[in-house]
Amino acid sequence: MMRKLFSRKPAAETPAVSALPSEVSAAIETSHVIIRSDAEKVLVAVMGFHPFTYSLENAAAFFQSAFSGLNSDQVARAVRFLAAHVAKRVAIHAQQHERVEGGPRWCDWRPLRIDS
């Protein structure tokens, strides 16, 4: 009975791993999102790599070339993770831009007038 409890079972076929390696997750989390308002495009700069114009196709091509050990499921997961990261940064940028547009600006400054 003890032998049956502690004996190793033959390993079944392991499914393809779709979890992202830690270096890919760290690269996505620390990537910089550059929002160009004059050209209406978003650039993604991953540390150690050239920046690229963000699109789903460009992101998939980037992950396939930069991290060649990823399978197709991992590339799809990395693209979704990057899409969420970019969407969050664009929303933060839009919120900050709204706040600036509504309030006073530095160029509207006027000296105080003290009437006696």
Question: DSSP readout, 4-33?
Answer: HHHSPPPPPPPPPP-SPPHHHHHHHHT-EE
Location of structure tokens 């495009």? 41
Location of structure tokens 């160009």? 36
User: 30-63 pLDDT, tens per residue?
Assistant: 999 999 876 678 999 999 999 999 999 999 999 9
Q: What is the DSSP string of 27-94?
A: HHHT-EEEEETTTTEEEEE-TTS--EE--HHHHHHHHHHHSTT--HHHHHHHHHHHHHHHHHHHHHHH
- Per-residue pLDDT band for 109 (boundaries 50, 70, 90) equals confident
- Please give the average per-residue pLDDT across 5-9, as a whole number: 70
- Per-residue pLDDT band for 70 (boundaries 50, 70, 90) equals very high
What predicted TM-score, i.e. pTM, was given to this entire model?
A: 0.71
